[in-house]
Amino acid sequence: MATWEGADYRWPGLLAYLAGVLLQLPFIDSALFSGSMVRVLGGADVSWLVGWLGAAGLYWLMMRRARRVGGRPGGGEAPARRLPRPRR
């Protein structure tokens, strides 16, 4: 999300996304690449499912921990008030 000060990255989301991509690799079955688990699954390409479930589960765990610790997942304290809209 962009703010007036610049980009405000949500690191748990980015890390969960990258982990989901890495989790997919053993389950990919394409013309260019075939993962190690494809043969075990009888040729089924379930990479999308493994990646989605892995990323969602990891994100849920990270957000649950962030809420328990008490801070915002992006870091810093929550803003006390909204920024005024720019005049046009």
Q: State the average pLDDT for the chain.
A: 83
pTM, full prediction: 0.64
25-63 per-position pLDDT tens digit: 999 999 999 999 999 999 999 999 999 999 999 999 999
Helix (H, G, I), strand (E, B) or coil at 7: strand
The domains of the chain are located at 11-69
Whether 88 shows a pLDDT value over 80: the answer reads: no
Q: Which stretches within 4-85 are classed as H helix? A: 11-24, 47-69
The one-letter amino acid at 56: A
